Amino acid sequence: MKNLTNQNMQHVLTDAVDYLRFPVFDQFGVVAIDAIKGRYDSNYVGDGQDASFRILCAELGLDFNNLVRIEQQVHSDICVRVDSVDAKPSECDALVTNVPGLILVTREADCIPILIYDPINKAIANVHSGWRGTVKHIVVRTIDMMKREYGSSPDDLICALLPSIGMDHFVVHDDVRLPFLREFMEPKIQDLGNGEYLIDAVESVKEDLRNAGVCANNIYDSNTCAACEADQIHSCRGNAGAKRNAALICIKD
């Protein structure tokens, strides 16, 4: 299998699980990874998810019992503050906390996972941004919550964009194209003819991050299309079915 390591992320292969890590967070004692299908066909939703998460947490040196998973992601712009492992967030698509040890989790198979860290106020966020969440500017709503709740300044934030659907595989029609045209200044769209278009949703998220005040040098893009790498990363357009990857961020105790 192809190794997906690049300048912004490292492809880690262990005896039990494969994941992608973002070394920029290491200096702050923050774990920021994307747990992928890998060689073991790991899956992070459904009946077998606890076994997968236990294996992953053991490899990362984290406490499985501190996982906070969104029970139902609904492609919204809703962000929830988490202060305890007892939280059971549902019907939302982003989580924030400043509590060390809490592990924020979102699941995806083509949608854009965004991991955020504020090194000044020591707060984190995990954002699930599908195309609906993207046009609702969920990443901006999340940064706004970090500003309100933790005093975060956008120009301090470090943001990682994990693997998601790339422009070359994101074929859409007007029901998707028109909202991007309405909501973004310069959406990257290619007309394929016959009412079909390609859209670069990741570039739109980057536009939102920059407009929110995040420094361009603090945006770390995986530059990886999930559908192109569907043999290793769950991708709905790559026939993942109901299986999902897991984006995870935690401030280590």
Residue 2 domain-assigned? no
Strands 245-251 and 30-35: antiparallel
What pLDDT score was predicted for residue 241? 78
Residue 170 domain-assigned? yes
User: pLDDT tier at 253 (50, 70, 90 boundaries)?
Assistant: confident
What pLDDT score was predicted for residue 242? 86
Please report which helix (H) or strand (E) contains residue 123, including its range: strand 123-129
Asked if 65 and 53 count as a contact pair (C-beta separation under 8 A), the reply is no
Q: Which domain holds residue 38?
A: 10-251
User: pLDDT tier at 232 (50, 70, 90 boundaries)?
Assistant: very high
Rounded to the nearest integer, the mean pLDDT of the chain is: 97
Residue 4 domain-assigned? no
Q: Look at the chain and count its residues.
A: 253
Give the separation between CA 49 and CA 242, rounded to whole angstroms: 12
Token pair for residue 179? 């909202």
57-86 average pLDDT score: 97
What pLDDT score was predicted for residue 238? 78
- What is the tens place of the pLDDT at every residue in 85-123? 999 999 999 999 999 999 999 999 999 999 999 999 999
Residue 5 domain-assigned? no
Residue 139 domain-assigned? yes
Residue 3 domain-assigned? no
Residue 1 domain-assigned? no
- What is the tens place of the pLDDT at every residue in 1-24? 799 999 999 999 999 999 999 999
- What is the tens place of the pLDDT at every residue in 186-214? 999 999 999 999 999 999 999 999 999 99
Residue 160 domain-assigned? yes
70-93 average pLDDT score: 97
- What is the tens place of the pLDDT at every residue in 137-189? 999 999 999 999 999 999 999 999 999 999 999 999 999 999 999 999 999 99
Give the separation between CA 55 and CA 145, rounded to whole angstroms: 32
CATH classification at residue 160: 3.60.140.10
Token pair for residue 150? 């933790």
Token pair for residue 113? 């996972």
Structural domain count of the chain:
1
Token look-up 């956008």 returns 154
In this model, does residue 240 exceed pLDDT 80? no
Name residue 108's beta-bridge partners. 245
DSSP secondary structure letters along 66-105: GEEE-S---S-S-EEE--STT----S-SEEEE--TT-EEE
What pLDDT score was predicted for residue 193? 97
